[in-house]
Amino acid sequence: MSQTSADESAKPLPPAHIAIIMDGNNRWAKKKHLPSVAGHKAGAVAVRKAVEAAAESGVNVLTLFAFSSENWQRPKVEVEGLMSLFMRSLKKEVKRLKEHNIRLRVIGDLSQFSPALQKQIQLSESETAYNSGMSLVIAANYGGRWDITQAAKNVCQAVLNGDMSIDDIDEAGIGEYIQLADLPCPDLLIRTSGEERLSNFLLWQTAYSEFVFLPVLWPDFDKAHFNEALSIYHGRQRRYGGR
């Protein structure tokens, strides 16, 4: 066996699914005495770097927390800027995603977005629906508690419809109605900016994820930081409650 093939065989497998809480855009802008929208624009550039790094590493699913259900409480001008940036990014990046065989999915309560943005989301998803490479999931107007609540409602409806009985309600049954039920749960969750909490993100799906908290602000996140998180992940032992 050649040295190259031996090195490749010894290389640890990448996480199947990585989730990232992209935190620090506002602090980045504030440090540079710029408006918040400048931080979000810089953050969009970091998104591209993260997507490229994940795809190159062989990750199957990358989920990014773009806009939480609590973010509507931010100043109106900032929210409007975020919505405008989301629309532009969807239009601009779809071609790049198609070129790299990446499938786009958006999860969350999309009904709260403008009709134009909802239409663009649907168009972007449909244009990449048959791509067979990495899945890029954008969580927008998403909250983990909302996710579990919606699943509970759907389970109740299934019982009322006679499609399942109360005795059928178990972890697996509820899990079928959770967002991303058809994808593996995140192996690794990364949060930038030094904050160490989930902030209502993928509460059900990250039950056994490894968490890596990095001090870097999101707009400064690059491939080196991505690889640092992977290195930390590979140094962990995942026991799932066992020994």
E-assigned strand segments in 27-87: 61-68
H-run or E-run covering 19:
strand 17-21
Predicted TM-score (pTM) of this structure: 0.92
d(CA 36, CA 26): 5
β-pairing, 135-142 vs 188-191, is unpaired
pLDDT digits (tens, 9 = 90+) for 10-35: 678 999 999 999 999 999 999 999 99
- Active-site positions read 23, 71
Place domain 14-144+185-234 in its CATH homologous superfamily: Decaprenyl diphosphate synthase-like (3.40.1180.10)
Contacts of 47 (CB under 8 A, 6+ apart): 22, 64, 89
Tokens of 43: 């953050």
pLDDT digits (tens, 9 = 90+) for 34-93: 999 999 999 999 999 999 999 999 999 999 999 998 889 888 889 999 999 999 999 999
d(CA 137, CA 124): 12
